[in-house]
Amino acid sequence: MNREFIYVPIGACSISQSPDILYCKGLGSCIALCIYSNIKRVGILAHILLPEGDDLSRPYFYANLAVKFMLEELNKRGISKTHIWAKIAGGANMFSNGESHINIGTRNSLAILNYLSVYNIKILNTDLGGRAGRNVEFDLRDGTVRIFTYEKGEYYI
């Protein structure tokens, strides 16, 4: 079976199945939300930019809309939220020169944790915060999330 590498840009979302890999690059304050079904070996990844928004034409830009829309996509494929888990990466606070009053990375992290809790989605693992950007690969063979940062190198959650 052929394996595809599917790039997910900022404010977008992709869904696929094993053996594909979903990935995003240059994740700074953004969040990579990876949701996986062990039963169907289907995964969905959203590259979320901001904690909240109301533009329904761009739901994956915002944590408050992304979780809901991702669950709807999984539901369309017959995947119940009782058979999924999430892994989350990102939320870095990249700039120390004046961003302290904004802390968009922290706000994104808190928002995504909150909305996953609202929908009762089990969080298996996280890699949030810090000051380094991340590249994220979500392997749909088993739900492994590979992360690379210049700060820590390569590691898995």
- As annotated, the active-site residues are 30
8 A C-beta contact, residue 147 and residue 109 = no
Whole-angstrom distance, CA of residue 84 vs CA of residue 36: 5
3-state secondary structure of 81: helix
Burial pattern 109-125, b for ≥16 Cβ within 10 A else e, equals bebbbebbeeeebeebe
Residues for the chain: how many in total? 157
8 A C-beta contact, residue 118 and residue 110 = no
Q: Outline where DSSP puts E strands in 18-143.
A: 21-27, 31-37, 42-48, 85-90, 122-128, 134-139
- Give the Å distances, CA to CA, from 28 to 3, 72, 73: 27, 27, 26
